[in-house]
Amino acid sequence: MTNPEAGTGTVRALVKVTVNLTPRAVDALDLSCARTRDTKTDTINRALVVYNVVQDLMEHGGGSLTVLRLDGSTERIHLL
Asked whether residue 3 is domain-assigned, the answer is no
CA proximity to 40, closest of 12, 13, 68, 21 = 21
Asked whether residue 64 is domain-assigned, the answer is yes
Asked whether residue 59 is domain-assigned, the answer is yes
In this predicted structure, what is the pLDDT of residue 7? 58
What are the backbone dihedrals phi and psi of residue 68, each rounded to the nearest 5 degrees, phi first?
Answer: -100, 115
Q: For residue range 66-78, what is the model confidence (pLDDT) as tens digits?
A: 999 999 999 999 8
The parent domain of residue 26 ranges over 16-79
Asked whether residue 29 is domain-assigned, the answer is yes
Number of structural domains found in the chain: 1
Q: For residue range 8-61, what is the model confidence (pLDDT) as tens digits?
A: 667 889 899 999 999 999 999 999 999 999 999 999 999 999 999 999 988 988
